[in-house]
Structure 1
Amino acid sequence: MTKKTDEKVRLTVRIAMLCALVTVVTISMVIPIPNMTGAYVNVGDAIVYTCAYMLGGGWGALAAGIGSAAADLILGSALYAPATLVIKGLMALVAGKLMARGTGSFKSRLLAVALGGLVMPLGYFLYELLTLCGVPGLSPGAFICAGMGGILAGVMQAPLTGIFLIAELTGGFQLLLPLMN
C-alpha cells in the first residue's frame, strides 16, 4: 500500500474506534430524565470532546455524531437519534475548530469545550420546539410517512402511488409537497 492509502486506513480506523467508544461510554452509564420519554443524561460527552481533540473539527464531528446517535438507537431513544447526530456532531465541530485555533493552553481548551457545550442545550431546545410542540408537518411521524412514501415511489417507479398511499394513511394531503421533491 502507498503512504497515502495507509493514512486513509488509519484515519478510518480511528474514526470507527472513536464512534464505538462514544457509543459504549454513552450506554454504560445512563441516568433517565423523569417525565421525558427516551431522554437521559450520560457521560458520553467526554468522549465527544475527545473526538474533537484527537480528530479535529470535521472528522471528530462525524465520529461523535454517529457514535452518539447509535447509542440513542441502542437505548431505545430513536426519537432523539437524528437530532443527536446533528447536535453532538456540531458540539465536536465547534470544540475541534476552537481547539485548533487556540494556543493549546488549558484555558483555550476549556473555552473550546465550554462553547461546544452551549450547542447541546440550544440544539435540543430547538429540536423539542420544532418536533414535540406541535409545529405542523415537523413531527417525527411525518418524516417517517414521507420517507416511506418516497421509498415506495422509488422502488415501484410510480411516484403517484406513494403520494396516494401516504394521503390515504394520514387522512390528508399535508405531506404532498415533501413527497414531490
Structure 2
Amino acid sequence: MENKHKGLRMSSTKINSIVQVGLMASIICVATFIVHIPSFMGVVHLGDSMIFLAAVLLGRKKSAMASAIGMSLFDVLSGYVYWAPFTFIIKGLMAFIAASIVYRKKYEGENVWNNLLAFSIAGIFMIIAYYFSGAVLARFVFAKTATLNQAFILALKDVPGNISQALAGIIIGVPLSLTVKKALERSNISI
C-alpha cells in the first residue's frame, strides 16, 4: 500500500521551500499594499524593502520566485494588470541580482556594505527596467498615438518615483535584513 502513494509524497525540503516562497510572496504583496502611492503610470511603494529582505533570507532562486509572485499579485489585485508581466520579470530579476551579490564570495548576507551594494545595483536595475517597460506601455497601451520618442519621454515621469521607491527599499531593507537574519540565527531557525 505504501508503494502505491510513493510518487505523491514530497520531501520535507520541497515543502519547506514552497512554504517559504509562499509566505515571503504574501509578505511582499501585503507590504506593497500597506504603503503605496499611485504615480503617473504605476505606483510607488515600500515593497522593495521586503524584496531585499527575501534576497538575504531566501537566496537567489526562492527570493526571485517570491518577489515575482508577490509583486505581480499586487499588480493584478490593485488594477495594474498591464504591469503584471513586466513586474513578474523585473522584480524576480531584482531579487535574483540582490541575492547573487549578497551571497557572492565569502559574504553570507551579513555585511552591511555588501548588502548596500547589492540592493543599490538591484535598485538601479529596477529603475532602468521599469523605464523601458513604461515606454513600451506608453507606446502600445496608455498613449497609442505616441511615437516611440514620445513614449520614452512619457516614461520619464515615473523615474523619480522609482528612484525614491528604490531608496526607501534600501534604507529600510539594509537594517531590517541584517536584524532579521541575526534574530533567526540567535533563535536557531534555519531558512
- TM-score (normalizing by structure 1): 0.68
Q: Kindly provide the CA deviation profile for residues 16-62 of structure 1, in whole angstroms up to 9, marking residues without a partner as x.
A: 000111111101111111xx24x111110011111111111111111
- The match for 1:112 among 102, 115, 118 is 118
Mapping for residues 79-98 of structure 1, pairs under 5 Å: 79-98=82-101
Cα deviation code 1:67-87 (max 9, x no counterpart): 000001111111111111111
Match of 1:65 among 68, 74, 89: 68
Aligned-residue offset at 1:131 = 3.1
Aligned to 2:38: 32
Moved over 3 A (4+): none
Distance in 2 (alpha carbons) for counterparts of 1:10 and 1:114: 30
Task: Spell out, residue by residue over 1:131-157, the C-alpha distance to the aligned partner (whole angstroms, 9 max, x if none).
Answer: 3224xxxx59xxxxxxxxxxxxxxxxx
Give the Cα–Cα distance (whole angstroms) in 2 for the partners of residues 62 and 91 of structure 1. 11
1:17 partner letter: L
Q: Which residue of structure 2 aligns with residue 99 of structure 1?
A: 102
Distance 1:62 1:29 in 2: 22
Q: Percent identity?
A: 27
In structure 1, the residue matched to 2:23 is 17
- Which structure has the larger Rg? 1
- Amino acid in structure 1 at the alignment position of 2:117: L
* One-letter amino acid matched to 1:106: V
TM-score relative to the length of structure 2: 0.64
User: Is the counterpart of residue 7 in structure 1 residue 13 in structure 2?
Assistant: yes
- Amino acid across the alignment from 2:82: L
* 2:58 aligned residue (51, 55, 79): 55
Q: Secondary structure at the match of 1:9?
A: helix
Alignment of 1:137-152 (within 5 A): none
Match of 2:127 in 1: 121
Shift of 1:8: 1.1
Cα distance in structure 1, aligned partners of 2:96 and 2:77: 24
Count of residues paired in the alignment = 131
Deviation at 1:96, TM superposition (A): 0.4
